Chain A
Amino acid sequence: DQQVKQNSPSLSVQEGRISILNCDYTNSMFDYFLWYKKYPAEGPTFLISISSIKDKNEDGRFTVFLNKSAKHLSLHIVPSQPGDSAVYFCAAKTGANNLFFGTGTRLTVIP
């Protein structure tokens, strides 16, 4: 039972443009959402998070939006840079419980 879903396995964007990565979830009890970034042969690294009491969180070029009614969140990267090319995982948790990860979206930023 996949509680966190990333339906787009890949995304290609031109350098300088906006990248939008999407994530859907089914468990309404999730209260914290995170995005992780993964380069080849490395472990995932934390990128940005958002609490369920907020609808937006911004950190530099990265912004995460949460739509609780739609059980949907998205990660916006503006402007996109070639170094952003990686696999992005959406993850969610409830309280002190563990993270549930999506299947990932491979972002390719074309110079």
Chain B
Amino acid sequence: EAGVAQSPRYKIIEKRQSVAFWCNPISGHATLYWYQQILGQGPKLLIQFQNNGVVDDSQLPKDRFSAERLKGVDSTLKIQPAKLEDSAVYLCASSLVQGWYEQYFGPGTRLTVT
């Protein structure tokens, strides 16, 4: 079984530029999560999708971050414009159903904003 795929693995941009991350969850997983992990901290949930609908985006900075999950499969997370404090690893995870405790994580995208 293929795991959660993410791309790119690394990205360096200047502040005020825009960037997009892509995630392909495990086949058949209805729930998809985007986390932000700042160095020295644990992952923090940004947004959760159930199929192609948003379940929880309370921690998403909506003035600059946006996410979508078209057709309930792949998802993209966008930052526009980026700030220095957005430097972090962005993790995508998926689970079989909403509320299922075991989430499967992708390798993450390390973003550096200079």
Contacts and interface: CB of A to CB of B under 8 A. Distances in A.
Interface of A: 4, 6, 9, 32, 34, 36, 41-46, 49, 89, 91, 93, 95-99, 101-104
Given A42-B107, A43-B108, A103-B40, A93 B4 contact: no
A45 B106 CA distance: 9
A101 B99 contact: no
B93 A43 contact: yes
A41 B103 CA distance: 18
Interface size class of B (residues with CB under 8 A): 20 to 34
Q: Is the contact region of chain A dominated by helix, strand, or loop, or is it mixed? A: loop
B107 A103 contact: no
A48 to B, nearest CB: 11
A89 B42 contact: yes
Contact of B99 (A6, A41, A95, A104): A95
B21 interface: no
B102 A49 contact: yes
B13 interface: no
A44 B43 contact: yes
A103 B99 contact: no
Interface in B52-66: 56
B24 interface: no
Contacts of A98: 33, 45, 48, 56
